Copies of this chain bind each other. A is one copy, B any other.
Amino acid sequence: MKLASVNAGRDGQLVVVSNDLSKMVTADGIANTLQQALDNWAETAPKLAALHAKLESGDVEGQAFDQTAVASPLPRAFQWADGSAYVNHVELVRKARNAEMPESFWTDPLMYQGGSDSFLAPRAPIVMPQSEGFGIDFEAEIAVITDDVPMGVSPEDALGHIKLIMLVNDVSLRGLIPGELAKGFGFFQSKPSSAFSPVCVTPDALGSAWEAGKVHLPLVSHLNGDMFGKPEAGVDMTFDFGRLVAHAARTRPLCAGTIIGSGTVSNKLDGGPGKPVKEGGVGYSCIAEIRMIETIQDGKPSTPFMQFGDRIQIEMFDADGKSIFGQIDQTVQQG
């Protein structure tokens, strides 16, 4: 099934969405918000699935679903932790800031605690006080939402706690990262509010594309209308989502509604960095990566970071070319 949160109050109004994203029906009487549904998932999920079946069959008529009228599925969450499962990306970004990557990164997941109190809607602008020096970048990723996860869960058992899947634009301020990481406490100001896809879906809605804790489909990003990346999310993902959830839960339990991200999706090409889409490659899921390739090739980057007015669209399509999660579509604005 597919779920979304229509704009309403701070936490939205939970709606069940049809597979083709054309219709929706409010989850009245089941749960008012997605967090409420997740707080009691064992009871609410079957009811939501039954309502979804009725919407699909036409037993419930529903209303038109409007991707511009929704918040992120969890408009605010109690936890957002982002992994870096595509170690290829980590290696490139580190190179770009002249930082070495320890070998252990291939065996021990990297993860940071993100701010989860003020997510952007999927179609909301990315409002920043300045672009100069901030190095505004998008990061196209996949994220999962868990139910309650006990401390010390195994990677295998963690897979069973993954209840919903969605896309995320993990906005990053590349200009602020080196100084902030040098302080030693991780990201803070360099990771402003993230935006998630209009719709989140249960793993079964992905069919065979969800396998072994990975989504085996390309993640498509368009920058200012041009295809920027379409890497396969199931390829080069060193740590599957079961492993990432278990990493997060090593020393504390995770509350229902915890969001765990994959990190920027990135594919290698012949063991090295990939090529831009216009050169026949699968491209990239963030600007920092192409700038690194440019630096390797030309001695300096030529693709600028996002400026005011620049637009990023992130989407994923099923085997029939239909949008699964709806589209993240954001423009950078001064404010």
Contacts of A117 in B (CB 8 A): 78-79, 254-255, 257-258
A189–B76 CB distance below 8 A: no
Contacts of A252 in B (CB 8 A): 115, 118, 192-193
Binds B, one of A162-170, A175-183, A284-292, A308-316: A175-183
Q: Does A151 contact B (CB under 8 A)?
A: yes
B76–A186 CB distance below 8 A: no
Contacts of A251 in B (CB 8 A): 128-129, 173, 176, 189-190, 192
> Residue on B with the closest CB to A335?
B151
Per-position binary interface string of chain A over residues 136-166, scored 1 when its CB falls under 8 Å from any chain B CB and 0 otherwise? 0000000000000001100000000000000
Q: Does A307 contact B (CB under 8 A)?
A: no
Complex Cα–Cα for A285 and B257 (A): 33
Tell me the minimal C-beta distance from A275 to chain B in angstroms.
Answer: 28
Taken together, the copies of this chain in the complex come to 2
A186–B187 CB distance below 8 A: yes
Contacts of A79 in B (CB 8 A): 115-117
B183–A110 CB distance below 8 A: yes
> Residue on B with the closest CB to A9?
B39
A115–B113 CB distance below 8 A: yes
* A residues 294-317 touching B (CB-CB < 8 Å): none
Q: Does A261 contact B (CB under 8 A)?
A: no
> Residue on B with the closest CB to A114?
B113
Tell me the minimal C-beta distance from A50 to chain B in angstroms.
Answer: 25
Contact of A116 among B78, B129, B250 (CB under 8 A): B78
Q: Does A69 contact B (CB under 8 A)?
A: no
A185–B186 CB distance below 8 A: yes
B112–A186 CB distance below 8 A: yes
B78–A254 CB distance below 8 A: no
Complex Cα–Cα for A184 and B253 (A): 23
Per-position binary interface string of chain A over residues 242-275, scored 1 when its CB falls under 8 Å from any chain B CB and 0 otherwise? 0000011011111101100000000000000000
Complex Cα–Cα for A111 and B190 (A): 12
A112 in contact with B188 given A117-B78, A117-B79 (CB within 8 Å) = yes
Complex Cα–Cα for A84 and B184 (A): 12
Complex Cα–Cα for A270 and B81 (A): 42
Tell me the minimal C-beta distance from A269 to chain B in angstroms.
Answer: 26
Q: Does A10 contact B (CB under 8 A)?
A: yes
Complex Cα–Cα for A176 and B108 (A): 13
Told that A76-B78, A186-B187, A189-B250 touch, could you supply 5 new A-B pairs with CB distance under 8 A?
Answer: A76-B255, A102-B182, A110-B184, A129-B152, A185-B187
24 A-B pairs, CB-CB below 8 angstroms?
A76-B255, A78-B116, A79-B115, A79-B116, A79-B117, A81-B188, A108-B183, A110-B183, A112-B185, A112-B186, A113-B114, A113-B115, A113-B186, A115-B252, A117-B254, A129-B152, A176-B251, A181-B184, A181-B185, A188-B248, A189-B247, A189-B251, A190-B251, A192-B252
Interface on A for B, CB 8 Å cutoff? 10, 39, 76-79, 81, 84, 99, 102, 104-105, 108, 110-118, 127-129, 151-152, 173, 176, 181-190, 192-193, 247-248, 250-255, 257-258, 335
